[in-house]
Chains A and B, each alone.
Chain A
């Protein structure tokens, strides 16, 4: 605020938000779907942080998880398959004042959107990315995704999936400029909330892979992990996630992991059983592309219009420039 007094005056009207204030339309996810847990955690985060709905935007691609923006009473963009991240980057670039969240699935992010995913990590723009990883294409009724386990029979792999699954954590941790990588599971909501909260507070791209159940198409896939707390490895650290005494009683398999250690993070990420849960890597010093490229120029309507015109002119064919016989086709008129 330019005038210090505005700060306290803008808070005069602050009233505590209720979780319901962030609730959009009724979720259409299947009963028992892990997406519900993520939605509840995110709505809780919005309430606890007092985010104003008009300053918050959820961007998604296509898939079960990508229905997320519909269920948030904030701004949202339910976009193009695999393109949640570039859309979110555009939003962040144009409106750095907005809180940008991205909800993407294992198919959306790791398959069709893989190129955007890698570059988004490298761009490290300030946003919270949640990868809802249920290891299957659920919206289109069971086809393998890049993270499906080998041998999984599906509509596209009736004889079972041929390849070992892709590990989104090791991929992310291998990209230049990675700054925040965490893993959560939908069946430990307390940690899910803590991890998403840590991701939200990180300045840069925070990547949270959330392993979630699909009760419809992979009903028993994760049962061994859900039912045996020893098969979950909690990563604890004073700079990472701290486990409450109540939770520690149930989840006794814990290890102290320093999130500033990238090599160790890569090692932890490679281990899939027990499932590591917590903050794997955190480096707040990585520069953000949205900060580096912030334009000092004021976005006046005239400037925006001129920019749009010059872009559109590149594709406009001017009728008066129609070529005469034997001449080359007219080129786009320079702006």
Chain B
């Protein structure tokens, strides 16, 4: 090993830089080579900025500005050259909006559109105003526009929660308002039967003013009194309906849009957003009696409007209707409780109380926003497991089994919006664990890039655990949202020009080390190697990590980075960071296994089964080899004889063979059809035509299906039986033999009965 390389190895092992030769990256502005193309995000069309679409529910409540602009162009811009100017201007406007948002503008999409359109028009001589105004007409979405910053996760989750809250409110109020109308109808119908409703004054009020003079309401009242219907609602029922109505009308869980009459004072709906888990839990406990009362009132109302309330049976049930009677499905009708938190250093106690809250199974939706996943990773603490702290909460929640967990960096939230919406609608508790990428006090970091890098590098992998999706891990757990989930590190193609201006393309893995390299606080783990000192013993970090640690370190891992002028640099990495990267990979492997990728149990099982199969085949092969080889002549007769047999079998059904088979049923049929001496009716074929029952209703009667049978053969004469058989249009009455041999005209009757025996 030459001395120059020894310097590199020394840095790698000890982390201390020699006085000269290796540069301190803290003083340089370097960024991982794969991020070279992302210096100015306003020039790129990506998920952010997002529009928090007002009034929408489901996935539609979150829209990216680019997709919205695409929709506008599809609507407003004609195809081909004709629409080219409109497309060009609108896309320029989109970039303008991006710039405004990146500068910190906070407004709705329409407001930003107008501002950007004005700016654009003032800077250019092109006639953009007309095109932009046409495009704006096609804009159907509006809402606050947010960028990927420190406030984005909370805004986005709160918006999705509000959309879900609206969806729930709509369904709930539809049911409750219908119940209110129908209960009121019952009371009104009862009132209309009362004498109060029949008074002349009341009748006059119900006619209207235009033609009131032509009626004599007193006379009308007298007439109506004569035809009045007796009876009114029992007092207990009326009281029950009134109670249910008052509870339904005074509910404060959802806002009451239009059901209440004008003038009646409206009560403010309850708030369901909280700043701590403890506050949410306290509110839930405080509101529980109201929830029980409301659920009880709805249930009573549902029974009442269907007229199915039976006091003897239902009173005892409702007298014991308490918290215990509320099941998860009942709870799902009520609003969920939203808690948005930012996890800060030393928040261990809060994490513990959160886990406790989630374990209650109540419908809480908790956002835990993490701004820094590399904090605390210093030598002083002897801890290199970056990210462990932040991951702990989400994995603990998964361990609770009944919590919906979604972990994602904020850059990816738009992509996982379907999971986010599902998590909101999940009837139990939900935890959203989000890394914002917005490090406090770090002005030069771009949150979107930090967040995306954290997910790319497996430092903050995305996963979702949906307990409602099925009974097993395969259906519940997903890590598909990560890039290249079956790889240790995602690999991207990277091309550059070398010193001879030749294009070089290579695959570069984006590792945990790349992510740490973005963070200036950890510059001490890196050292830039001047180009002159590059050598073959330096290998890319991705490759280095793929091998087990070397006993005697000879090779040094390096990272490809670019400086401000986009010049490629090699930066070597110390061993402590490599150790942390290995830990990160190890945690990623655990997640992969849970997600069904490279699952060790499945692999072992596969190996075992393969081994068993191999052994079995070996045995079979050995048995075949051990068998004495039969002479080729002897084999032919053995093989030939079975052939005619199936052929004969196949031909058999065509021939006479099946004939004996139906013989048995035929005989049974004959036995069934043997004429009976007793009269009978083929009841299932009766068409209820009343012919026989009119001849003798005592002899012929209808069964529970209103079909005729002989109820009493002795209730009439043989003549009646024969006449019934003759008049039956479907000929299903069989008179049998006469019971009374002395009946007059019997001989003729027996003759007439013959066709019906």
Contact = CB atoms under 8 A, between A and B. Distances in A.
A190 B314 CA distance: 40
A250 B732 CA distance: 12
B40 interface: no
Contact of A10 (B303, B669, B707, B730): B303
A246 B684 contact: yes
With most chain B CB atoms within 10 A of its CB, the pick from A4, A5, A227, A246 is A5
Contact of B691 (A1, A4, A31, A247): A31
Contact of A37 (B184, B302, B688): B688
B751 interface: no
B303 A6 contact: yes
Given A32-B690, A54-B307, A298-B174, A4 B327 contact: yes
Contacts of A293: none
With most chain B CB atoms within 10 A of its CB, the pick from A1, A2, A13, A247 is A2
Interface stretch (A38-46, A80-88, A146-154, A166-174): A38-46
A249 B707 CA distance: 20
Nearest to B258: A298
Interface stretch (B175-183, B223-231, B533-541): B175-183
B299 A301 contact: no
A19 B704 contact: yes
Given A296-B174, A298-B174, A3 B706 contact: no
A213 interface: yes
Interface stretch (A105-113, A181-189, A266-274, A277-285): A181-189
A31 B314 contact: no
A188 B181 CA distance: 46
A215 B686 CA distance: 16
A89 B307 CA distance: 25
A188 B685 contact: yes
Contacts of A54: 307
Interface string B154-189: 000000000000000000101111100100110010
A276 interface: no
B298 A189 contact: no
Interface in A1-29: 1-6, 9-10, 12-13, 18-19
Contacts of B707: 40, 189
B616 interface: no
B689 A190 contact: no
Nearest to A297: B258
Contact of B687 (A1, A187, A250): A187
With most chain A CB atoms within 10 A of its CB, the pick from B177, B314, B669, B690 is B690
B651 interface: no
Contacts of A13: 308, 310, 313
B29 interface: no
Contacts of B325: 5
A191 B694 CA distance: 25
A36 to B, nearest CB: 4
B684 A10 contact: no
A105 B259 CA distance: 44
Nearest to B175: A2
A19 B299 contact: no
Nearest to A223: B729
A18 B178 CA distance: 32
A192 to B, nearest CB: 8
A33 interface: yes
Contact of B688 (A2, A9, A36, A227): A36
A226 interface: yes
A9 B318 CA distance: 10
A230 B310 CA distance: 54
Interface in B665-715: 669, 684-691, 694, 704-707
A6 B347 CA distance: 44
A325 interface: no
B689 A44 contact: no
A299 interface: yes
A319 B307 CA distance: 46
Contacts of B295: 3, 5
A300 interface: yes
Given A189-B688, A190-B684, A215-B729, A12 B299 contact: no
A204 interface: no
Contact of B689 (A3, A19, A31): A31
B687 A34 contact: yes
A54 B669 CA distance: 46
Nearest to A296: B174
A43 B706 contact: yes
Nearest to A3: B299
Contacts of B351: none
Given A40-B705, A246-B684, A9 B729 contact: no
A-B residue pairs, 8 tightest by C-beta: A37-B687, A40-B688, A40-B706, A3-B299, A6-B302, A2-B175, A36-B688, A32-B689
Interface of A: 1-6, 9-10, 12-13, 18-19, 31-34, 36-37, 39-40, 43-44, 54, 186-190, 213, 215, 226-227, 246-247, 249-250, 296, 298-301
Interface of B: 172, 174-178, 181, 184-185, 188, 258-259, 295, 298-299, 302-303, 306-308, 310, 313-314, 317, 325, 327, 329-330, 333, 669, 684-691, 694, 704-707, 727, 729-731
20 contacts: A3-B330, A5-B327, A6-B302, A9-B303, A9-B317, A12-B314, A18-B704, A31-B689, A32-B689, A36-B688, A36-B690, A39-B688, A43-B706, A44-B706, A187-B687, A189-B685, A213-B729, A246-B684, A298-B181, A301-B188
